[in-house]
Structures are given as structure tokens and as C-alpha cells.
Structure 1
Amino acid sequence: MKLKGKKALVTAAGQGIGRATAELFAENGAEVYACDINQDTLNTLNGMTTIRADVTKKEDINNLYESTGGVDILFNGVGFVHGGTILECDDDQWDEAFEINVKSMFRISKKYLPYMIDQNYIYSLKNI
């Protein structure tokens, strides 16, 4: 995978799949913007621009876009699951998971897609 000349935004880049994705994109030549809610985990990343943001907040998404501008690749790595089964999940826990897993993806995609459409290049991934 050769990504030289491509700009990539990876959310939840501080750990897990998001981190592995950010590192892989950077290793393959992309200019990576690594976003996470946890500044401490961002501080451990090298070779990319790190930005602390809570992508469940519209203001943070707007500030993130101001920092990155349009990108070629959008990796929505943010995800959260409450412990236990669906039978053990109450309405508040479900609402929180939906806000994190679905609404954040909708909002950040809505912000970044116009640039990607203008470039005739849309590459967006979601990890759930």
C-alpha cells in the first residue's frame, strides 16, 4: 500500500486498531493526522501530527477540520461497547454507545466528505 502524497485522518489513534492504522498509514507514506480524546496516548505516537479531540462534540470536529483541512483518507476508529450483553445494557448506556459509535461517525463524515467529493476521491472506513 503506497500512500505517499495522501493526507489521512485517523480517529481513536491512541491505541488499538486506530493506532495500528495510523502507524500503517504513516509507514506507507501518508501524512497522518492522529486524533484521540486521550492526550497521553497521543504523546506516544511518532511520525505524525497528533490532535486531541472528542469527536462526539461538534465544536471539536470543527476545530479538528480547521487543523487538518481536507483529507484523502478518513478512518473513523472511534468505538465503544458497554460490558455485558444487550440484556444488561440500559437505555442510557445504549444512548452513549450510539452517540460514540454512530453519531460521531456521521458528524465527522459530514464535515470531511465535501472535500473528498470535490476531489473525486472518497476513502472512508469505520471500525465498530
Structure 2
Amino acid sequence: MRIDLMGRRALVSGSSQGIGLAIATELARAGATVVVNGRAQEKTEAAAAAVRAEVPEAEVQAVAADLASADGAASLKEEVGDLDILVNNLGIFESRPVLEIDDDEWRRYFEVNVLSAVRLIRMYLPGMMERGFGRVMNIASDSAVVTPLEMVHYGVTKTALLAVTRGYAKAAAGTGVTVNSVMAGPTHTPGVEDFVGELVGDDKPWDEAQSQFMKEHRPYSLIQRLIEPAEIGNLVVYLSSTQASATTGGALRVDGGYIDSILP
């Protein structure tokens, strides 16, 4: 299957590193013009440079904005203009005993992990519907349905994203616009390397630490390894294409078989 995204303009929120950067790179590789986003200008520009280094012919724009605030989202919209593809990847996570999570932290997680996506969808979906084409993807997680004890607040926000996805997909019914969730499994990123170190100790060689983490904390993974970010990017590229025109309102899994159920 040849996927050509030439002529499409895509934004990936929270794409200065990790999964977001990999998604931006794979979209650029497929021909899309890509907007990378982060809070810090220097780091965001470095991410754009990384995409160009991987895909020399890529058209990449770096836009620094804090999408956890309404003002930040509005400033990004003013600078970016219209989009064909919106990937809501921005998210935070941290290990925390559930009884120690206070109201302020719950609010912060919803602002960053849920409302940042809602704001951008609300800004961009009407234009997509008017033009008769658009792709919206919310990067969720296996934690949306397998709530991890060590980060319940994170899992709850990802569960909320599944409902957000379904609701906006219904709002876009019959317009040529699709809205889907991508449920990523345990993924190899710098942040996850730190997380693994917190849980199994940071004094071990990486291969040993990863193996112990998967056995003790993610034992249901069928691939028995962390997912590489580009593997998530591959699914996003497909969902961004015309070939995925009949897939909407869904929660699609790229979780290494971690979720132990037939349906999400």
C-alpha cells in the first residue's frame, strides 16, 4: 500500500520528543507538511531540525505554544492556520500512589491530557468539515482500559480521550472527516526510560531493566518488549490517509497485544 500525504498539512502536539517526534517524522516521510509543537522555542526548533535530518525534503514548521492553556492554543491557531491532519499527542505521566494525588494534580492532568485535545479539535474540526476532508487522531494508551495502579490519574485521562474521540466523530458524521483514538502500548521513549528506572532501579543495563519492567509491570505484552515510537507513527500515517476513509470513531490499538481483550 502506497500512502501519499503530499498536499496535506499536519500538526502534532507535544512533538518535541518521543512519540510525537516520531509521528511528525513519519508524516513528513509520507509527504505531509508538518507542524511540530512544544512549549520551548529552542527545543521545538531542534525537533523540526531532527525531522529534516531524517527526511531531508520535509517541509516542517516549528511552533512553540503551551497547549494546556486556552491562550496558548489560540496563539498556535493564529500562527498555523488551517490543517488537514490533527494529532493530539500532548500528554504527561508520572508514577504516583493514587491516594496521594490531590485536586490540583488531577486538574493539571485533565488540562494537559484532555482539554488540550478538546481545544484543538474545537478549533480545527469545523474547517475540516466545511472542506470535506480531515483527520483527527487522539493518542490514547493501553492505560485507558487497563488502569495502572501506579498512575491512575494518567489512565483516567486516557479513558476520557476515548469518549472525546467518539463524541467528536459523531459530530463529524457524513462530512468526510474521521476522528479516531490510537491506543499506544508501553513505548520506548526517554521519559519511559526514566519511568522504568523508577520502578526497577536505574543501576541496571538498559536491556536488563527493560526485560524486568516488562515481566513485572507489563506482563501481558505479547511482543515482550517496548514499542518503538515509529511503530505508532506508522499507524497514524495510515489513519491520516484516504485509504482509512471508513475508519472513524474507533480506538485502534498499537499496544503490542498488551490489552487482554478482544475489543478495547
TM-score by length of 1: 0.92
2:32 match: 30
2:85 match: 73
- 1:62 pairs with 2:74: yes
**CA RMSD of the aligned region, Å?**
1.4
Q: Is the contact made by 2:69 and 2:111 (CA closer than 8 Å) also made in structure 1?
A: no
Bigger fraction of residues in helix: 2
How many residues are treated as equivalent by the alignment?
A: 128
TM-score by length of 2: 0.46
1:3 match: 5
Partner AA of 1:123 in structure 2: R
Alpha-carbon distance in 1 for matches of 2:88, 2:102: 25
Deviations 1:20-73 (Å, cap 9, x if unpaired)?
Answer: 011111111101111111223212222310000001122221221121111000
- 1:111 pairs with 2:113: no
Alpha-carbon distance in 2 for matches of 1:19, 1:38: 14
Question: Unpaired runs of 5+ in structure 2?
Answer: 53-59, 141-264
Alpha-carbon distance in 2 for matches of 1:100, 1:114: 22
1:99 match: 111
Higher relative contact order (CA 8 A, sep 6+): 1
Q: Which residue of 39, 42, 49 corresponds with 1:40?
A: 42
Q: Structure 1 residue 94: deviation in Å?
A: 1.0
Partner AA of 2:105 in structure 1: Q
Q: Is the contact made by 1:82 and 1:89 (CA closer than 8 Å) also made in structure 2?
A: no
Q: Is the contact made by 1:79 and 1:100 (CA closer than 8 Å) also made in structure 2?
A: yes
Over the matched positions of the two proteins, sequence identity in percent amounts to 33
Q: Is the contact made by 2:28 and 2:34 (CA closer than 8 Å) also made in structure 1?
A: yes
Highest CA radius of gyration, 1 or 2?
A: 2
- The DSSP-based 3-state class of the residue aligned with 2:104 is helix
Q: Is the contact made by 1:14 and 1:41 (CA closer than 8 Å) also made in structure 2?
A: yes
Partner AA of 2:43 in structure 1: T
Question: Unpaired runs of 5+ in structure 1?
Answer: none
Alpha-carbon distance in 1 for matches of 2:62, 2:74: 16
